Amino acid sequence: MNNREDIVLKELVERLDLPDSAYEKAEKRYKDLGEWFNRDNSKLSGYNVHIFPQGSFLLGTAIRPINEEDEYDLDLACKLRQGISKSSHTQEELKTLVGEELEAYRKARGILEPLVPKHRCWRLEYHDDISFHLDIVPAIPLDDFKKSMLFEAMNMRGTGESVAKGASEKAISITDDRDPNYKKIIDEWNISNPEGYSIWFNEQNKTTENYVLLEKAQVDKVPLYKQKSPLQRCIQILKRHRDIMFGDDESKPISIIITTLAARAYNGESDIYVALSNILEKMAGMINNQSPRVPNPVNPEEDFADRWAMPECIHLNLEENFKIWLQQARRDYNSITTLKDPVLLTEAISKSFSISINSEELKKKLGLSNSSTPFSKPKDHYISEPAKPWKQKM
């Protein structure tokens, strides 16, 4: 890769990483919660509780909040590995059981914010030197028959046998109060598989990391990805660009779609520039024309893009906004990888990523002399009739 492009992208991605203090704080709180659940007088002590991270912390794609004052979020699953089944407890009973222990933990640790029930999880808020909220999803292992069905479905979609086997074994049944049978003893619960997804992701990632989590461990260590792969870096860049473009608007592309399409498009490139160029070029082609549009790789019948076609979501223009975002990401990426003038380059990075880089420092790192002739600023690209909430470039 061109050394200039390498320097520019490294300057960008290094500023997207969470600080070490955030990882350390997350790990401390994560371990403390696991120890609480497994203490001798816990209501959960006999259920072989296994707590593990989900989402960006597990995949190594977490990014800093745009505003340093904003909260960090850590998604966790609380899997009760024995003693509870869908024939012994309702979803409501399982969620209540976990909630009671979380409420006791909140009081014991002096956490002032009340425990908040969400559809699938409980939210626990910390407010001190680093504000965190933990979303804890109650879960139990998926039964063997449904695991075998997932394995066959992944095999039919071309997933390698070892990945399909490992991923299907990690599937879980989770609580969701929107389920009409939430309060009934019933065999059909929602299925989730964050650990299985990480197995698939690491295979796409072409890493040598050991993705088999230690089953005997009561608490898994939050992964500290000090050396991120090009794929992880690309996803961080794409998520940040999305956040700047859409803010908190609910019509923005969701992270799991960006992550899945990027992982499918990634071809094991060894540097960020080539990897991101390839991903931006191929992402749209990874979307199916028919449902499932963006299938969950570890549950192929699930469509991560199902909301695109839901009548209640039509006003959000979700598919159109994804396409508009991807087009703009390509334009902005082209700008930061072709601009030569350090001032214009730092302005472009600030505008598209809300990242501040000193132009004089960047100039020195790029080895540009004071007499270097700056390149002209490229023309802004306008969208004549943008879909909500996209605003025209100024």
* pLDDT of the residue at 387: 44
* Mean pLDDT, rounded, for 85-101: 97
Query: What pTM was estimated for this model as a whole?
Result: 0.88
Angle at 97 between CA 92 and CA 103, to 5 degrees: 115
Flag whether pLDDT at 234 surpasses 80. Answer: yes
* Mean pLDDT, rounded, for 162-180: 97
How far apart CA 191 and CA 193 sit, in angstroms, is: 7
* Mean pLDDT, rounded, for 38-49: 92
Q: What would the pLDDT profile of 115-132 be if each residue is shown by its tens digit?
A: 999 999 999 998 776 778
Cβ of 346: how many Cβ atoms within 10 Å? 23
Identify the residue with better confidence: 390 or 300: 300
* pLDDT of the residue at 219: 61
**Separation in Å, CA 308 to CA 221, 254, 290, 313:** 35, 11, 12, 7
Name which of 266, 264, 238, 254 is nearest 304 in CA terms.
254
Q: What would the pLDDT profile of 263-292 be if each residue is shown by its tens digit?
A: 999 999 988 999 999 999 999 999 999 999
